[in-house]
Amino acid sequence: MQRFVVQEHAARHLHYDFRLEMNGVLRSWAVPKGIPLEPGVRRLAVEVEDHPVDYIDFEGTIAEGQYGAGEVRIWDRGTYAPEKLEPDELEFTLFGTRLHGRYALVRMKKRPQDWLLLKLRES
């Protein structure tokens, strides 16, 4: 199993950074309204640059004047089991402290950096 982390990031605007360990990096999305906890809830997730895997444990302050300046705290972490890994759709099961169950990330066609993050119903 691979690892994931959700970092609460109080930058210009409070958001959550959702990161999945994949292919030696952390694939990353900024989720402005938080991670969905109930099936059927959809949240915008804006894909951002990949981060180094060692960033998975980062908590602290990013200095003023640097990209992403502000406070970063780990909101949840754990492992995940990939189920579907395609260029425009990812499905996986999270095993975290707060987050558990099946989730999907689906790329939006008109704005390729924008994805929908949703919690799937258990089958």
DSSP three-state, residue 90: strand
For residue 12, the model assigns a pLDDT of 83
Please write the tens of the pLDDT for every residue from 49-79. Answer: 999 999 999 999 888 888 778 899 999 999 9
Tell me which residue range forms the domain holding 61.
Answer: 2-119
- Rounded to an integer, the average pLDDT of 25-31 is 98
How many structural domains is the chain composed of? Answer: 1
Given a contact cutoff of 8 angstroms between Cβ atoms, the answer to whether 105 and 117 are in contact is yes
Taking the C-alpha atoms of residue 123 and residue 115, their distance in angstroms, rounded to an integer, is: 23
Please write the tens of the pLDDT for every residue from 77-122. Answer: 999 999 999 999 999 999 999 999 999 999 999 999 999 999 999 8
| Sequence-distant (≥ 6) Cβ neighbours of residue 57 within 8 angstroms | 5, 74
42 phi and psi angles, rounded to 5 deg: -115, 140
For residue 52, the model assigns a pLDDT of 96
